[in-house]
Structure 1
């Protein structure tokens, strides 16, 4: 026979778990999204597009200087990706060119400085874009390793954004960091497993 206290504790515990999930919805969504993408991967190169989309989205939001626009920027990118794919156009090089243009716009607008964080922005974006291009077009195993490691690196970059509460909104940085980490580890497991 269970006591009233045990029942109250069980109800509180379930309620606490639900509240945690509600507060950490970006983490839950990131893990779910990452696991879904990994479950449909064949060689890991599919994740290169995620890396390029993330790099371009952060760069665009930095140039716009509006943290709250990140969700709309990613949604717009996804529409562009779907349209390009429906026209049999590879979205990776198109998004990479858009990122180069945005980096130049940011330079003209003097967006890349004086802080160390801002100075790193175009360079790290370039690094993530190169990793995405390698992942999309190189031999599968090395490409997958590059993409997996770069996604984990982007998860660290997401954590910096979350901690600084800079460029993108904190919920987005949490979602993207979780997604990148789960996806990066998943790509490495698929490629090296």
Structure 2
């Protein structure tokens, strides 16, 4: 029988546990860390989507939508990075057309983040595989710091998504670096 303290801790930290589990799931069959570029793109897209909609609770539906897009890309053997980034740009444009320019930590800052994280994800597709893997890992580590900031500030996305994404990004970055260092060539 599981002690109540363990059960309570797992219940409180379910986003962190789910983030680690999801990192393990998406890393199955990973040929290179560059394979995770769509995850980095999706991370930034979820944030700009929530900022454009001005609804932190939209984080989980946006996350699951990005999972669907990335999964369809995998099934069709198409890298979904640029598609996901296009969705992020469309969400940003939607927010701009709605006049969502305040607060500054919302759409303006999330646009800068999408451009930065998106540039790293896209660049990783066009460089040497090992360099690309390290770029994706660095981008994911940087995004995990972004998640931590938003978790503490409790704004833009839901706290549960920020916690989930923090552990997903950090865990996946570590897996990418280990795989890249260990794999020959």
Q: Which category describes the TM-score, using the shorter chain as reference length?
A: 0.7 to 0.9
Q: Are positions 1:155 and 2:144 aligned together?
A: yes
- Matching of residues 139-150 of structure 1 within 5 Å: 139-150=128-139
Question: Are residues 117 and 67 of structure 1, via their aligned partners in 2, closer, same or farther at CA, if it must alter by over 3 Å?
Answer: closer
Q: Are positions 1:165 and 2:119 aligned together?
A: no
Q: TM-score, normalised by structure 2?
A: 0.87
Structure ID, larger Rg: 1
Q: CA RMSD in A?
A: 2.1
Structure 2's unaligned 5+ residue stretches are none
Q: TM-score, normalised by structure 1?
A: 0.84
Q: Distance in 2 between matches of 1:87 and 1:17?
A: 42
Aligned to 2:8: 19
Q: Which of 48, 58, 67 lines up with 1:69 in the alignment? A: 58
Q: Distance in 1 between matches of 2:132 and 2:101?
A: 30
Q: Are positions 1:120 and 2:95 aligned together?
A: no
Q: Which of 21, 28, 32 lines up with 1:32 in the alignment? A: 21
Three-state SS of the structure 2 residue aligned to 1:48 is helix
Structure 1's unaligned 5+ residue stretches are 1-10
Q: CA deviation at 1:87?
A: 4.4
What is the aligned residue count?
Answer: 182
Question: Are residues 90 and 144 of structure 1, via their aligned partners in 2, closer, same or farther at CA, if it must alter by over 3 Å?
Answer: closer
Q: Does the CA-based 8 Å contact 2:52-2:96 persist in structure 1?
A: no
Q: CA deviation at 1:138?
A: 2.3
Q: Distance in 2 between matches of 1:114 and 1:73?
A: 21
Deviates more, 1:102-111 or 1:62-71: 102-111
Q: CA deviation at 1:139?
A: 1.4
Q: Does the CA-based 8 Å contact 1:112-1:121 persist in structure 2?
A: no
Q: Distance in 1 between matches of 2:24 and 2:78?
A: 27
Q: Which of 167, 172, 175 lines up with 1:178 in the alignment? A: 167
Q: Does the CA-based 8 Å contact 1:135-1:147 persist in structure 2?
A: yes
Q: Distance in 1 between matches of 2:5 and 2:59?
A: 30
CA distances 1:7-38 after superposition (whole Å, capped 9, x unpaired): xxxx8x83211211111011111112213333
Three-state SS of the structure 2 residue aligned to 1:115 is coil
More helix by share: 1
Q: Distance in 2 between matches of 1:76 and 1:119?
A: 23
